[in-house]
Amino acid sequence: MKSMYLKVLSLLFLVVLAACKSDDGGDSSPEEDSNAGNNLALGVSAGDLLTGGNFQRMVIEFVYSEGFRPRQETIDAFRTFLNARVNKPGGIVFVETVIDPPAGAPFNATEIREIEANNRTQFNTDDTIAVYVFFSNGSAFGDTQTGFTLGTAYRNTSMVVYEKTLRDVSLDNPDFDLGRLEITTLNHEFGHILGLTNILGDDIHEDHEDGINRKHCIINDCLMYFEAQRSSREMLRQVFRNDEVPQLDELCIADLQAKGGK
Ligand SMILES: [Zn+2]
Ligand SMILES: [Zn+2]
């Protein structure tokens, strides 16, 4: 009798849960609604980020816990990268938000989104588009000795740079300068937010998306080049084989220009 009772109870519980779930969509708070413009798929805001049409200004929010701020030279280089590509007549503003270190690393994709939900302070307003960058105090879930994630762009205006991983790599191998790791990762992930390479699949005018490493560029020297078959360390050697930080090649720049970029 007891087990039967439990079964009935759990059935009821399931029904209640299902009912709650179906209510979720229609009951979002006004605050959630006002942030809807920052809760879209990767790449869809490329035009709004590149042009001054809908948003005259851009705010970049760097969120980090103590000890994980990127270097000042990285922030300066990122500003230069943005100014070279985006049209924001009202300017680009940087905001820094220092948080308590999130617990539970390594972080999976769900946890990275939770950290954003708990800590992001900048959202789109009438004339300003906001981009969130978390410099993580922990590594990405699933990292191994040979394959590790340096950064991920996961929404239209959201990305994470695994700063802890960059620092560990740089400590292990002094050839990999931390500043260059930071700016390469930042620029690369921002390139994804700008729609590179062929993120939406409908705006390409030169066939330079890598057929195997999708959403990346086939041009060897390009910032958006990535060869997944190699281990991360080999990939890093590729990044560091020249003296300069990898730049966007002319095909990727042409893609940005087609959407209103410089
Ligand atoms: Zn990438
Ligand atoms: Zn390219």
In this structure, is residue 103 part of a structural domain?
A: yes
In this structure, is residue 1 part of a structural domain?
A: no
By residue range, what is the domain housing residue 193? 35-258
Q: Helix, strand, or coil here: 104?
A: coil
Query: What's the 46 CA to ligand 2 centre distance in angstroms?
Result: 16
Backbone angles phi, psi at 82, to 5 degrees: -65, -45
Interval 21-50 mean pLDDT: 74
Given a cut of 80, is residue 202 above it in pLDDT?
no
Ligand nearest to the CA of 207: 2
Interval 32-49 mean pLDDT: 92
Interval 215-219 mean pLDDT: 90
User: In 159-186, which positions are buried (b, 16+ CB within 10 angstroms) versus exposed (e)?
Assistant: bbbbbbbbbebbeeeeebebbbbbbbbb
In this structure, is residue 15 part of a structural domain?
A: no
Pick 187 or 11 by higher pLDDT: 187
> Which residues have a beta carbon within 5 Å of ligand 2, which is an ion?
217, 219, 222, 224, 249, 252
Given a cut of 50, is residue 258 above it in pLDDT?
yes
Other Cβ atoms within 10 Å of 115 Cβ, number: 21
Pick 20 or 132 by higher pLDDT: 132
Q: What is the CATH number of the domain that holds 131?
A: 3.40.390.10
Interval 76-87 mean pLDDT: 98
In this structure, is residue 19 part of a structural domain?
A: no
Query: What's the 14 CA to ligand 1 centre distance in angstroms?
Result: 40
In this structure, is residue 128 part of a structural domain?
A: yes
In this structure, is residue 170 part of a structural domain?
A: yes
Reported as a single tens digit per residue, the pLDDT across 43-76 is 999 999 999 999 999 999 999 999 999 999 999 9
Reported as a single tens digit per residue, the pLDDT across 90-128 is 999 999 999 999 999 999 999 999 999 999 999 999 999
- Residue-level pLDDT at 10: 40
In this structure, is residue 22 part of a structural domain?
A: no
Interval 231-258 mean pLDDT: 87
Query: What's the 251 CA to ligand 2 centre distance in angstroms?
Result: 6
- Residue-level pLDDT at 2: 42
Which range among 30-44, 88-102, 135-149 shows the weakest confidence by mean pLDDT? 30-44
| Structural domain count, the chain | 1
In this structure, is residue 71 part of a structural domain?
A: yes
